[in-house]
Chain A
Amino acid sequence: MLDIYVWFYTGCALMILGSIATVIGPGVKDPVIRTLNTEVAAVGVSMIFLTYNHTIALLTFVASTLIITMILLRAIVRLEEMEAKV
């Protein structure tokens, strides 16, 4: 089996890369791309939870990330429909 540290440090790397990508990544002027970039960091958090054996926390986290993405996309689409300058 793979060493447990592989999961942990992959998670750490994904998290830092994902956060940098969300803040100054390519094409983040489009809010949809910025939202999708946060998913990279979310996968990193999932891997860190996996290292610690936080099963219920991991399941709830996956579900709540999905809901948060839906909320953010709904906010983006509605604001664009209003033609608001944000």
Chain B
Amino acid sequence: MGLGIETRHRIARRAALEIKDGMTVNLGIGIPTLVADYIAKDLHIMLHTENGILGMGGSPAEGEEDGNLSNAGGYPVTIQPGASYFDSATAFGIIRKGLLDVTILGALEVSEKGDIANWIVPGKRVPGMGGAIDLAQKAKKVIILMNHTDKFGNPKIVKNCSLPLTVREGAHMIITEKAVFHCENGQLFLREIMNPYTIEEVIHTTGAAVIVDEKVSVFQ
């Protein structure tokens, strides 16, 4: 079950607030890709792609696409002033050396300690990890955007992940259609809920121990 388009955009809009002036950022495929639309225009951000661009811009106008200029998902993009092209080893050297300030990824499960599972459902869906392990282990801040529950209504934020891990204790933040969680020192903090959900509803559909802040704000 996917989220409605409005909900996906709200999650992306919230995630964009985590991107500050001067940051180097990698956006994953899916809802994370939408975040680019909500980054404040006056910020100077360098978007990084695994296929070898630093300084990626937005989508080109129709008819202006360049067959040899795409994002990691294969879709046409443009570049910004100061952009550079490089091979895959350099693209991942940038990641591995810890030069990404933020990476925004999707996930299948996240544990209360910040363990992330996002690349394999054994026996069912085996796409491979791509660059997810490199990104989740090495970016300075890892933000997970995902549905709060799976298609059966089961929590995706859990005490322990049941799926093979992408990284141990890698997530710093989880943003769902219901709430924003911070993973700090192996614990999960609830400081923000998304309109129109309630704290009780969020806790009821979260499969992990949550510490609720004294003051929980509401994101519209």
Chain A complexes with chain B: no
